[in-house]
Amino acid sequence: MNPSTTLETPWQWGSRSLYDSRLWYYGLLAAGSVSNVLYYCTVPLVGIGVLAGTTLPRQRALRVLLMMWGVNQFLGFTVRGYPYTVSTFAWGGVMLLGAIVAVLLASMHSAFSHNQTRHGLWLTASLLLGFVLYELMIWLGGFALGGVHGLTLSVLGEIFLGNALWGTGLAAVHWGLVQRWLRLKEAPSD
């Protein structure tokens, strides 16, 4: 990701404006918090994290992920009754580590460094590869912590679907905000 990338297309200008804005950052923080209320254990860390990684500066993307994970852990240990065991805390760390890897992968290219089509392709590739890396971390963690028996194709498919829906839905919101910014920029000023 290079913030000094030459901006040549309207998509790049609009994406850069959201990249620099607080609106998109706070919107992703809010979406991450809402996802924690809707999901029990399978919060879409990868879906939202990858989108943050491709549309925000790396530090902000990691903050979105950390806040989302922190809310998940807080709700888990206070409202949902997660047991206070070393294993439970360790699983939280494994989830966080896997999601950080996905965000770092996604943040290699920002939305404004590509044209719109290439951004969509990078987002899709980042989501797929990020999810594989995330689940690989969980699978490897399962050998140390126990519990790889629950990683069936059916379960993985459901978790991926949730991540893909959140990532795709928020990507559509991002696209809409870029388009709105471009329309506002073109509007005659009085």
Provide the pLDDT for residue 42. Answer: 82
Provide the pLDDT for residue 3. Answer: 54
Structure tokens at 36: 């924690």
Domains in the chain: boundaries: 10-179
Provide the pLDDT for residue 1. Answer: 43
Provide the pLDDT for residue 130. Answer: 97
The phi-psi region of residue 134 (left if phi > 0; otherwise alpha if psi is between -120 and 50; otherwise beta) is: alpha
Contact (CB, 8 A) for 101 and 133:
yes
Segments of 6-98 assigned E as strands: none
Provide the pLDDT for residue 135. Answer: 94
pLDDT average per 10 residues of sequence, the chain (190 residues): 64 85 93 87 91 94 96 93 93 96 93 79 95 94 82 89 94 93 71
Provide the pLDDT for residue 44. Answer: 94
Contact (CB, 8 A) for 151 and 32:
no
